[in-house]
Amino acid sequence: MEVNVELLIGTKVRDADGNDVGRIEEFRVERKDNSCTVESYLIGAAGLISRLSAWTLVRPIARALHARKLYYLYDVPWKDMDLSDPKRPKLRIARGDLRHAR
Amino acid sequence: MKKILQLALGVITSVGGFLEIGSVTTAAQAGAQFGYQLLWAILLGTLCLIFLIEMSGRLSAVSKHTIVDAMRERFGFPFFFIVLVGMVIIAFMVLVAELGGIGFGLQILTGVAFPWWAIPVSFVVWLLMWKGSFSLIENGASLLGLVTISFIVSAFKLHPDWSGVASGLVPSIPETDKARHGFLAVSILGASISPYLMYFYSSGAIEDKWDRSYIPINRFIAGFGMTFGGVLSMGVLVVAALALQPKGIQVETFPQAALLMTTALPRWGFYLFAASMIVACFGAALEISLAIAYFFAQGFGWNWSEDLEPSKNSRFAFVYTIIILLAAIPLLLGVDPIKVTMMSMALTSATLPLAIVPFLFLMNDPIYLGKYRNGWISNSVVAVIILISFVLALISIPLQIMGG
Amino acid sequence: MNLVRDVLDKKLIDREDCCMGRVSGLVMHVSESAPPSVTHILVGGPTLWMRVHPFLGRLSKRLATIWGPKRNEPVKIPWSRVETVGRDVKLDVKGKDTGALDWEIWVAQHIIERIPGGGSEEEE
């Protein structure tokens, strides 16, 4: 199945139980020879900040405001993402089983 | 040594910010009605621009990307599209006003009404862009722009009260006409802190092939260039305060502004004013046309350079051709360029945050700037400018209605 | 490497160092048994407008078939042609052969070159 990456950005993701997890903000990929494979999807506000390369600006502000929510970021391995409906991506696992990304 | 000649980029950029028809008209109105009381607005605009322009040049010199390149790459197309629409609408209005300003200057000299000049003036602006190179435009407009020094000469010849001038550099609130005062302050700031200046300067840095070795000279160019423009704009205000305010002339129409220099320079003032306006508006028209074309080309990833033959960057050439053609139409229909410029200044103020907030992100991007990204001083200045821009955004339209 | 930050919307440079537009979109092949892989880079208007609003995307697709260089499909460049991803995305292709410069050539031939002094987009 073919999916347009640019249309997935910002799409809301739910977990296997139907709970909101966050929005897809970034795709971690590995380049090898002539191919480019997706390793994981980054979901959460921190993914957007990384995408904007804005940590040097946001980190001091987030620290000052104790805005913990800005730091949340899930690193979802490709196996755990179900893109059979690209408009409604969902996880194959529950939110509690997700790994927080650095 | 060659780098110092790049001063021309600073000068032409400041012409577009401080000496175009909107800035001259508002400075003249401000001086005619409130004496020296609004000098602080020009000073504030100058200081803000010095920082913004320096950052624009630094971004381009280090990353070899223009602001628009970086904005599209970081914020994506949907956001870029919003900024594009806002920028094009406002820049188009300013272009109409500048072409009208050239027409007004010619009207003063020849007596032929400005709508008749719309087509010849647009044609000449277009021809310069079609056949000219970036350095021809940059150096030519800057050299010719030196005629505007006549405003400073006029100011000195009228022997201003320097302590009054100094006190005008400090913000104050008048006893009467507060709305009008506020409107003019907002207009002056909107006329000077125009995002298209930043886009133009950053593109010019790429056209002139700047690299990291230009970072020190960039500071000097931004400082000198914007100070040049700011001081000239203050000169206009001081001359209006001394020549027009005592006579109760309010500068409601452009021809009244022509009386600016006749008190100080009775023989030549009239012609110098007209020549100054023609040259300054010409430079501004070139700058804005280029800024619009740069915005499209860089945002969409087309080939672009004023140094290339038009067919080698056809879409870039097409954009400036179409935009100049369209800008002549309102003038042909007799639309008043002064009204257009006043509206454009209020809209610029209203949409300033859209340009400055993303810029703050870009100037802190370690991938584009590495160790040259903003320090805490620059970030604080931009934060203050963002605050000013939000205040302007909130009050500009109401003030336009109340005091415009 | 991060796809959105490092590839999407970046400038595309061909093997002759010519600018051939920007990465408007990326096609990813998804399957159950293997990691998704990026197969193509998309260039062009309809892909871009689709990101703003689906209606604009469909309208742009329609218009693309009836004016200018008339394309029915977006410009698709295989990922295998990507040489380097850095400040820009460098491709091992000739821009003119991909269709990414069709509009540039069309505007040059139909409008710019018809105006005196416009020059010729063909190399001497």
pLDDT score recorded for residue A45: 83
pLDDT digits over C29-85, tens only?
999 889 999 999 999 889 999 999 999 999 998 888 888 888 778 899 999 999 999
Q: How many structural domains does chain B have?
A: 1
Which candidate in B79, B361, B363 is best for mutational testing of the A interface (most A CBs within 10 A)? B361
H or E element at residue B240 = helix B215-243
Residue of A51, A52, A56 lying closest to B373 (CB–CB): A56
Q: How many structural domains does chain C have?
A: 1
Asked if residue C66 is part of any domain, the answer here is yes
Q: In what order do the strands lie in the sheet with C11-13?
A: C19-22, C11-13, C89-91, C82-85
H or E element at residue B392 = helix B376-403
Q: What pLDDT tens digit does each residue of chain B (404 aa) get?
A: 567 777 877 877 887 778 888 889 899 999 999 999 999 999 999 999 999 999 999 999 999 999 999 999 999 999 999 999 999 999 999 999 999 999 999 998 999 998 999 999 999 999 999 998 888 888 888 888 888 888 899 999 899 999 999 999 999 888 888 888 988 898 898 888 889 999 999 999 999 999 999 999 999 999 998 999 999 999 999 999 999 888 888 877 777 778 888 888 888 888 888 999 999 999 999 999 999 999 999 999 999 988 888 988 999 999 999 999 999 999 999 899 888 988 888 888 888 898 999 999 999 999 999 999 999 999 999 999 998 888 888 887 787 777 66
Task: Give the DSSP per-residue string, C24-70.
Answer: -EEEEE--SSS--EEEEEEESHHHHHHHH-HHHHHHHHHHHHHSTT-
Asked if residue C75 is part of any domain, the answer here is yes
The span from the CA of B59 to the CA of B68, in Å, is: 11
pLDDT band at C5 (very low <50, low <70, confident <90, very high): very high
List residues bridging with C19 in a β-sheet.
C13
- Structural domain range at position B194: 2-403
- Closest CA in chain A for residue C32: A79
Pairing mode of beta strands C11-13, C89-91: parallel
Residue of A4, A26, A83 lying closest to C5 (CB–CB): A26
Asked if residue C54 is part of any domain, the answer here is yes
Asked if residue C119 is part of any domain, the answer here is no
Chain A residues touching C35 at Cβ < 8 A: 37-39, 78
Domain extent listing, chain A: 5-97
- Closest CA in chain A for residue B75: A52
- Structural domain range at position C27: 3-114
Pick the CATH number of A5-97 from 2.30.30.240, 1.20.1250.20, 2.60.40.10, 2.30.30.90: 2.30.30.240
The span from the CA of B330 to the CA of B200, in Å, is: 24
Six token digits for residue C34: 């293997």
Which domain CATH number covers B256? 1.20.1740.10
pTM: predicted TM-score of the whole model, two decimal places:
0.92
Which domain CATH number covers C108? 2.30.30.240
The span from the CA of B348 to the CA of B23, in Å, is: 13
pLDDT score recorded for residue A73: 85
Chain A residues touching B379 at Cβ < 8 A: 57
Asked if residue C52 is part of any domain, the answer here is yes
CB proximity under 8 Å: B 309-368 to C: 309-315, 317-318, 321
Which of C22, C24, C20, C23 has the alpha carbon at shortest distance from C105? C20
Question: C-alpha angle with apex B260: B250 to B146, nearest 5 degrees?
Answer: 135
Buried b (16+ CB within 10 A) or exposed e, B141-172: bbebbeebebbbbbbeebebeeeebeebeeee
